[in-house]
Structure 1
Amino acid sequence: MTALLDATDSQMAMLADLVASLEAAESTLSSMQAARDGMLAMAGRLAVDIARGAAHPDHGDMAIRTVAAEIGAAQHLSDRTIERKMAEASWLVDRFPAVWEAQGEGRISAAHSRVIVEAGAHLDEAADRAAYAAEAVEVAVTESPNRLRRIVRRLAERFQERSLTERHRDAHELRRVWVKDLDDGMAELGARGPAVLLHGMLDRLSQMAHAVKEENARAAQDASAAGLPADDRTVDQLRADLLADLVLTGSPAGHDTADSLLGEVRARVEVTVPVLTLMDDDAPTTSSPAELDGTIPIDVTTARTLAGSATGWDRVLTHPISGEMLAVDRYRPSEHLRRHLRARDQRCRFPGCGITARKCDLDHNHAASTGGATAHGNLAAFCRRHHMLKHHSPWHVDQTSGGVLEWTSPTGRTYIDRPPPQNTVTFTSADPVTAPF
């Protein structure tokens, strides 16, 4: 059977129209994205111009944060996301104008632009960038972004004045590790570093995983004869488990102190779990799940394991009907107010920010120096970025009852940020509430 062999003339004409319409829609979408980048770049320039006019010592950093916060709050996006988009847009518009113009004309897509800009990011001379961009755009018109990536990398090398060794030395300064949260209580761990080391790490994990896999295969027959379950983990699963073992239990031999202080460091996480979930054997299907850092659901088995090995718990008391947090206590109280605020706020209280509360500063909404009380009604958790924004920009915050924050932006807009709901079990007024005596 040959595909579309039996299609009628009208069906083929409809297909041709759809292809043309999709092509036009994609071209229009690319043009609109280019227009958005132009406005984001303009917003960045405006912030820098304001800072330059006032001779700000930070060279516009706080002004850019303030503008990004204004745009982000209006679009219900994190200001970090907006600032990153402003930087990316400025890089495209200012350093690769020919690429931006080609996207605005609908000749290439935003994906093509990203590939071209990333490959030519290290070209310092404007003339080199212009010559590179002109050739790259012509290639991009007829190639997919995936194919284009290899071509423009080679093309950019022709215009590089600095050696790969020099560029690698600079790139080495950007090494880092990060976590990306996923669904179903899972997350991804990413790393940026020298290619040789990362490929070596993966190879060592693979060798270990294959060795365990072979040993498991030899032991499977004995396990079956004894009526025991066999270890049937895949190589991918074994690599992940081995990485967790090495990071969580191994010692950093190459970096530890003379007193082995780094080897004593233990991983730390914060988990909230309803007490009924811990008590109920059928919790996976009948109760609320546990949460990591107030945002990421995790399975009940993991939560129970962590609870059983914890040296101490913070108890969060909630209203049985509304679920509102009432108080926080501990059998051996310590820094009571800090625990209360971390449990209440769970994350940075600036609109759109998701930095967990344990990584935040506790700030007086009304300064203590002007009579502000050191109490939960005048304190909130702000990440360092938004803590600085509050003190060094026109953004203003007031706290009302229930921990509700009212933020006023530099343009006069008001944004309400409420404490996140607690991870707890609630009851309706008709539900019987009995105490376990």
Structure 2
Amino acid sequence: MSEPDFRLLSTDELLSAVVGDVVEIRVLEHAMMQKIAELERRGAAADLGYKNVSQILRHAVRWDLKTARQWVARAEVLARAITPTGSVLEPELPVTAGAVAEGALSGEHISAVAEVMKDLPPEAEQPVVEFAREHEPSAVRSFGKELAYRLHQQDPEPHETEQEPPVNRLRMQWKGDQLEIWAKLDKVTGAKFEAMIDPLAKPRPATPEEGPDPRSRAEREGDAFADLVDLMLRADRLPEHGGEPVTLTLTMAYQDLVRQIGFATLDNRDRIPAALVRRLACNAGVIPVVLGGRSEQTDIGRKARTFTAAIRRLLVARDQGCAFPGCDRPPKHCDAHHIRFWSQGGETSVDNAVLLCRHHHTLIHQSDWEVKLLHGIPAFIPPSWLDPARTPRTNTAHRDSWHLAG
């Protein structure tokens, strides 16, 4: 069937056709968001070894991570939730969901409505959506702000808080699997801390594999703080605890580590899953203590036994930083990773190691990405769902070119 000649249509007919196409596209996008919500509901990210569904979509459909996150966020406010008992709950924005299903609203409209509804009561959704049906997203945001102002203009002004004396305070509290840290520093200490965090918190450069750095400023600074901890652990002069350099000890049964089941016990008696132990066992400043069948110590990996300074120098000379394709993290931000896991008999040697930054070290341990040395060069094999041919990829960020023979 041949394509119609649009030149024969009147302007009104042509414009009407465009509007009809847009409605069809929006209806299709609504169906796609339902599928994305289902991926989120069934835990697809954990199944594929990714941090979240946005990371999967970035690789699967080559979206920038910012775009992928927008789609996931929109899907969440439109999808019906299912309780453990099987009951179906209404979407977070039910009126918006109905309008989107009709093809009346775009993805940008969804984001605008969700944004303004944060400051409005639920009953305000109906007038906001009716306005959105007739106006562009930027106008919806202005309408929502005006509506919120009228609703809240009688609220009392917030009281100014008294300024506390310039002393340093730090509080730490475990909440589930995360350590929550609160700090207040004086000007001098704060400036020093800021100076250490800033260079580590710069956005990662855009790469063909991952696009631009999608992390928010808070996420980048959080990762920078984690990098700062790792840098401290790798430092030549560490603070001492009980007369010995600060280390972290992980204890678990050898068979559990091999089979990636069970958990390891930390110094503070908290537990972490076996899958995470493999990544931590690569790091300097971490001592894995593996127990045999009778709980006797069969192997204690010391810092020099994980990766010695001499091995690390050779890795730095070869990899020149994180070896993952497109990453330009320098060596000081990288861990040495066992290509063949230590728990599976992998040697602690240059030929069984690769430098990886924290982000890509975690990805290698938790996903179907694989790494191997081809002709002495670290090569990364993507998951089959991303590249059915699983063509090896190398990092060109630290060199002019790599030539990988077949």
The TM-score, its normalising length taken from structure 1, stands at 0.45
> As a proportion of its length, which structure holds more helix?
1
The TM-score, its normalising length taken from structure 2, stands at 0.48
The structure with more radius of gyration: 1
